[in-house]
Structure 1
Amino acid sequence: MLGPSRRRFHHIITSSGRHYATKYIAKITSTSPGGRSLSAEVSLPTVATDSRGYPIPRYQLICKVTHILTKSQFQSNPFADLSQYLSSLSPTLTTNDASLILKSLNCPSLALKFFHFCSSLSPNFRHDPFTYSRLFLILSKSLRPDRFNTVRSLLDDMEKSGIRRNISTVNILIGFFGNTEDLGTCMRLVKKWELNMNAYTYKCLVQAYLRSFDSGKAFSVYGEMKRKGYKLDIFGYNMLLNALAKDGKVDQTYMVFEDMKRKHCVLDEYTYTVMMKMNGKLGRCDESLKLFDEMVSKGCSLNSIIYNTVIQALANGRMVDKVISLFHEMVENGCRPSEFTYSVILNVLVVEGRLNKLDEVIEISKKYMSKSIYAYLVRTLSKLGHASEAHRLFCNMWNFHDKGDKDACVSMLESLCSAGRTTEAIDLVSKIKGKGINTDAFMYNMVFSALGLGKLMRLSKSLRNSRKVIVDLILYRIIL
């Protein structure tokens, strides 16, 4: 009785001289009288396997093959060198080795060439679902213009070769195709190959529909997923929640949100932000505040985006005092207000006629009041027709910063001229150079148009300090 690594091997030698891909070492034990047959004791090549019986990857081989292929730019025919190297192996390349070599190749074109090269190594070499799936994954991350047709061609090859497919292949294809027509093809493959969809397949399908901006089909797949007892991860839930909220599907959004709670998902800051934003648009300010308090009680980290979302929700409900209170809390917690924060607060103050609260807002955030924020508030107040408030705020900025902001100056100048406050406009033009801003034709023409030719001399007599500015305006106009 021979051991597991050695066995009696009988072979009839024919004239065809058929060669095997794997080399064997044999010891001849007997021959027939005519010499036409023999018996030999063969030492089978040993392949290390893991506890489940699967071959352990030969990492030295994988590194060597990868090195040969990746140096292809310096070689005329790297596959000839690779063929010579692989012919010396015992046993030859396995599908497991091929799959890991594909994983190591960063170039999709090179991976595709190596995939086809493997089939030429030996008549006995057959790609399996794992090597096909590996190649599909590589092509899905490439920018090859023919990648879709290439994958479809490979699918046809799988079908013709009778290779057994698995659900992992479908999962990769769903993520790869990513549009409604091809997703339908993937579903037909599931039925054709008689596969069972798992939780990851459903997740891939939901996300694929969401990337195709079809929240309706995504929610339908989510319903089927629930009936099968599967659930999404937090990333998938948030994608679905955000898409439904953006599409205004309130009931479905709440349904998903409640499912997340029932299934004990750890709700994160993004989840709460989506729900607070939706409630704010619906005018449900109390619900937004409730969600905010719940998020704080669970220890979620707060940032400017979260505060801006709640402030906007309260502003939509015209709750000025609560807006200012939350803004104060935002600053105290070290979250820097942005232009968006100030725009939301400013709009609600204007709508509610509470511009007197603007000084309080500026005082609360004085450590964050930069020149650009001042300039933004001045421009916004000017556009909203509040010239007096804009001018007062502009003077604060003027006194606080050594250098001026040209956009703010132009906005202020335009606001003063539109309001007929030519005295302040002339005073601004006379001082503007002291803040490092050069006056231009646009500024002069704006003030000149506001003054009118008939008013120039009268104003020049009453404003001795501004006489030089007016003369400059007249001369500049004559030159033009």
Structure 2
Amino acid sequence: MPAIWSSRTMAFTRSSKTFFFSFNLLQRRTCSSSTSQPQPQPFNAETICRILSANPTSTVDASLANIPVQMSPDLAVDVLKKLSNAGVLALSFFRWVEKQQGFKHTTESFHELIESLGKIRQFKMIWTLLAEMNRKKLLTRETFSLVSRRYARARKVKEAVEAFEKMEQYGMKPQVSDFNRLIDVLCKSKSVEKAHEVFDKMRMRKIVPDLKTYTILLEGWGTQGNLLRVDEIRREMESEGFEPDVVTYGIVMNAYCKAKKYDSAVGFYHEMVEKGVRPSPHIYCTLINGLGSDKRLHEALQFFEMSKASGFPPEGPTYNAVVGAYCWSTKMEDAYRVVGEMKELGIGPTSRTYDIILHHLIKAQRNQEAYLIFRRMSSEFGCEPSVSTYEIMVRMFCNEGRLEMAMEVWDQMKSKGILPGMHMFSSLIGSLCNESKVDEACRYFQEMLDMGIRPPAQLFSSFKQALIYEGMENTAIHFAVKLDKLRKTPLIA
């Protein structure tokens, strides 16, 4: 065990030294700037998250004890959003902030906490929060939709439907809009068959589906690539008197693109135009994405030119699709040129734009170029990397076996107050185990547990085997006990 704690101490020193230097400098500048009228410190959500993540073993009360910040409901929501991947820390912050003088939580802050607790499957705690929301008259129909979504994401489909049905216990009779949200939740969680069952149950209760109901179900089957069901829903919609609109056509085109039936998708475009339905930017984006991924660059660019002539203002997603189309055809210089156009038009680039470029550079084994683009994102391009951007880079260095670089990127991410999710932990811990760097693997595994994230069974099995191979059976037992405790012990308010 000493090796574990020494490596954790070194990592804490490395990741927090820069922050605390900046923090102390900020304090000195603030104190010396005005003796008669001290200015409030510019603490925002990012700064607060940086403080909290710098030492996860410290309590929130201790970490924020000397922070002179006026906490507003909007700021609390922003912090909770950034703590989305750290359910335990999010709960601690939630309880700390409600003790601040004059502060009252809103429905939105409860929803953000439910979101982060759902990621670590703390459903008992979630129902405790719902009871609290009910007492404070903050419960909404969207609350039950959110709980259902978290259950569905955790592959607890039965519980997702039961959570929806509990609405009536709280005096809310389900309406068509509520059924639409549940069907949407199930479809997006790849439980489309169950969503269709809910759709049938809804009709049995004499609740008439609307256009949105059919659209959601159509999109669900389309995402699954089930073109037979897509055509079936289309025919049913028309028999119920719902004329296909631009949204319907967009969903059908997307379904055919996912099934790699690009000619059929283009055919639906022409059918739509013939019926007098004006194509939307989303339609063009769908076709550019699909044709671009099939390396039909010339056709993708034709639809891009059509989109520009359509009269709609330029949109970032459409330009991202063009960037992707050039990347699929390995025309990186053209992709960079489009990024320049986005900047001139004031519609980007965003971190999503760079994620597309980085993905294709790494796929083409141009890793050095990818790292250079990543390093220049915030300093030269004015675009901060997102958690998915950092995940791409960490995975790249892990696959290269350059674990020091992976950990350096990780520390850079943490210094910006961005917290990793389960997939990032899995990539880094798995790679450290493969390279027999078990002390470092222990440090990150402990950090994952501190955040309340339960590792996948496969990851823990590999981690345990690596410890046993290095003669660290006691450490393996120690983590097995901690993990078991995390699984069985619900969080308390």
TM bracket (short chain): 0.3 to 0.5
Report which of the two structures shows the higher radius of gyration computed on alpha carbons.
1
**TM-score, normalised to structure 1's length?**
0.41
